[in-house]
A and B are shown apart, each in its own frame.
Chain A
Amino acid sequence: MQNIKLTIFGEFWDSQIYSSNLYIFGDSGDMYIVDWDNLINHHFYNQPDLQTVAHISFLESDLLYTKSAQVILKSPVVASHLKDKFIDLSTHNINLQLDKSTSKFYKRKDNPLPFPHADSEVYYSKLYVALNEGVFTTPCHSSNANAKHSKLWDAPVFGISASNSYTAIALSAGSDGLFEMSAEKNGHNILSKPTRVSDKHCSSCDWSFYNINATSHLYSSFFAAYKKIPDSKNKRKFHRQLDKIIPTEEIFQATGYSWGAHDKMYMYNNGIIKSIQYSANRDGTPSFRKIGSLPLQNWKGSVISASVAPFGTVVECENAIIVIRSDGQVITLPGEPVNWRIFSNSKYYKNQLHIIYDDRLEIHSFYHDYFVEQNVKTKQSGISMSQGKG
């Protein structure tokens, strides 16, 4: 099964996709806001045979992960038919231009945020960027072409990552450590100045339910383990409280470059990726279980960055992006990317891998994972999409 690829030509820096809009940070301090749903629907308007799989591939990744859909997919006839349609779509060259022919589907304006940034995030209808000048935000849907940004923090930052359900944003601040700041659920305000989670070196970070996976290229990576403390007034509510910092060497009983998100953690060393499944004990303390190692052949060079999505583990090497898919296939996407991004915390775009090269944005959509057993105990590569909770 080949992944599906859509290409948008242009010179870009970064991309985000959120709530039916594709945000592309242009290379010259500009920003494209693409009406993604309508652009995709328009593109496939004359291809009714492909509309369903195009919708799932680009607009609603969650659709086939629902319990109801998984029941339907157990029918071999249905599964086979859908696979055939996905395969058909994967043979198409889907090329889009942001020009006059598509002008009603996008707006181009000055990037209201500092450019270039190190990292970006979307959270409760706000765009955030982080760089060595600090952390900045602006509303996603500002109709004001002259909208400016707000500066939230002035410390230098390498990376930013928002929790999908715990109203918090984690910040990787290099030698200053890992920080976290709270956000209101309605997203109107940042409630607090960032607080330091750990003074250990942190290059990037991601969320493992209510915990934070912190990655360092230089020193030991670590898992910031939190406890759930019930609210004294409302027992259905709880607060997160930092419990302890666990070095990943302790978790893997090995050394190497490690990363993780949701229920999975990985460590690379000497051509092997070891995988760990995280779960929470009844008292909220973390439990780690080794689930094997991932196949890697002919893979050379050091790891630049890595992340994990439901469709598999994505590793950036010096001259290629490698996807170790959840069905065991390993895909090499050659070339040195300008940037790349996955959207594991989103509801509708979990199946997408965005890769920006010098002259284009490639959106790779993976569908194999709908046909993979989502058992948390057996799925080695990729976040498990079963209903397990952290």
Chain B
Amino acid sequence: MVMVSLSTKKNNMVNVSSFSLDTHRYGNVTYLPNPQHRDGNPNKSQWLIDIDHEINVFKCMDRNSWGSEENGWGLFINNNGSLNYLGVIQARNIEVFIAKFVTDKNHNAWHGYPADYQFKAQDVPDKSILLKWKEENFLTKSIIRKIMKGQPCKI
């Protein structure tokens, strides 16, 4: 991971067709929320949490190195250490609790969305990340199996 310190700097407005929300900078990292995951688009997973929390999920991913230089995986963790749902697969009304973050090379920035791990095996986090989450008691082995097999699972 190349991402570094996480103190928030000034937010800047960008003017790109599909990315119209504020950018958020942390050190040399830029996070650019994708509005398609907040506009009710039935073909896109939708965040249930507000943008501040979305950014906190990204920061948490960064802080814990839950990913690589190209993608990362996030959880919405309560103050008491338990997990919350962070998004919904709107077309099927399924709540999900893992976020996927990807680098957007066109904008030299990251963006993220609620991962649809039941639909796309590509949205299943890397096995090393799942094992880290097990070690840190965020996920049980049973939940990890269900995620890896694309099965329904609740937290």
Contact = CB atoms under 8 A, between A and B. Distances in A.
Interface of A: 13, 27, 114-119, 131-133, 155-159, 172-176, 201, 203-204, 217-218, 302, 304-305, 318, 336-339, 358
B115 to A, nearest CB: 11
B149 A118 contact: yes
B149 A119 contact: yes
A174 B119 contact: yes
A133 B129 CA distance: 13
A13 B131 CA distance: 12
B79 to A, nearest CB: 26
A174 B153 CA distance: 16
A358 B140 CA distance: 9
Interface in B137-155: 140-142, 144-146, 148-154
B149 A338 contact: no
A174 B120 contact: yes
A38 B22 CA distance: 67
B31 to A, nearest CB: 25
A204 B151 CA distance: 9
B90 to A, nearest CB: 13
Contacts of A203: 118, 149-151
A112 B89 CA distance: 36
A338 B124 contact: no
B120 A175 contact: yes
Nearest to A257: B152
Residue of B126, B130, B146 most packed against chain A (CB within 10 A): B146
Contact of B121 (A173, A304, A336): A173
Interface in B97-155: 118-122, 124, 126-127, 130-131, 140-142, 144-146, 148-154
B25 to A, nearest CB: 31
B41 to A, nearest CB: 17
Nearest to A132: B124
B130 A218 contact: no
